[in-house]
Amino acid sequence: MFLPCNGPIDLGHTLGSGQTFRWRREDDAHVGILGENIFRVWESDGGVEFESSPAPPEKTAERLRSYLRLEDDIDSFYQAVADDPRLSVATGAYRGLRLARQDPWECLVTFVISSYSNIKRITKHVAEISEAFGDQVKSHDGVYTFPGPARLAEVPEREFRRMGLGYRARFLTRVAEQVLQLPHGLMPYRQASYIDAKQALLSFFGVGDKVADCVLAFSLDQSRAFPIDVWVRRAVQEWYFAGDPVSDRDIRQWAFEHFGEYASYAQQYLFHRRRVDG
DNA sequence: AACCAGGTCCGAT
DNA sequence: ATCGGACATGGT
């Protein structure tokens, strides 16, 4: 089934730029799990083509469309930063890199795990958690859904430690318990203000500024979130502040003034650029 | 063999 | 408010 896209889309950059960790290349397509269904997606003229199972494409199209943010007018972002020479290099190189709209819970767990780790290891841990605690997707051996907060809340911390999660094990157990206390889960924060949503996330044990901003940018539609990790810190410091040391607080302030509602997109391009090309 | 990785928490200034 | 050290583990 075909889905049109507003502007360019590059699945390799979108799904392989360190925002999502459960997609894999398979021939010329990308295969991943959204909710209870497995998707196979590839680029097609003016959009993407996809298959899904066990639910058929007619039933899952909206989920994929939303996930890939096909409605985003990405060209207006490119225009907005056209006068920024550093960012223009990245938008030129990674044209079609989109932010994904992930499930907030899965995104939260993923980035709690990400703390002081690396992409390869994060990918491994997310896969292990799905296999160990998720449900098998119907008629797809070895393919698992992502376990919900109720399931992870009942996993003893020592099991997470056995998986090699280290000190993050405690974070995971606590975060699951805390999310379980929310009457309507994390979804309502899509409608909340950036400030309110961030404050809520920061109240979770194991969630600081960086992880909170990742969840806000990659799952909660908070376009002014600007996650600052080691790579982005270096990029901003060297490319925009002449190498002078800058506090995270100042970077956040600067990012909002400089990029406004495009901050989340700008961050992902800067991150990818810095991580891939140094 | 030190050093680093999409950080956060906590106690001491 | 801000700063340093501790925290687990695996890869260069």
Domain ranges of chain A: 2-71, 104-217, 230-277
Strand arrangement of the beta sheet that strand A47-53 belongs to:
A2-4, A47-53, A37-44, A29-34, A24-26
Task: List CB-based contacts (under 7 A) with strand C.
Answer: A 116-118, 120-121, 161, 164-167, 170, 247, 249
In the three-class reduction of DSSP (H, G, I as helix; E, B as strand; rest coil), residue A207 is classed as coil
Residue A162 CA distance to nucleotide C11 C1' (Å): 19
Residues 149-188 of A with CB under 7 A from strand B: 167, 171
Residues 194-233 of A with CB under 7 A from strand B: 204-212, 214, 227-232
Short-list A20, A15, A16, CA closest to A218? A20
**What residues in chain A have per-residue pLDDT under 50?**
none
CA angle A180, A173, A155 (to 5 degrees): 95
CATH fold of the domain at A2-71: TATA-Binding Protein (3.30.310)
Which residues lie across from A144 on neighbouring strands?
Answer: A136
Residue A2 CA distance to nucleotide C1 C1' (Å): 53
If you measure CA to C1', which residue is closest to nucleotide B6? Answer: A229
CATH class of A230-277: mainly alpha
Domain A104-217 bears CATH identifier 1.10.340.30? yes
Residue A237 CA distance to nucleotide C4 C1' (Å): 22
Short-list A148, A141, A216, CA closest to A176? A148
pLDDT at A248: 96
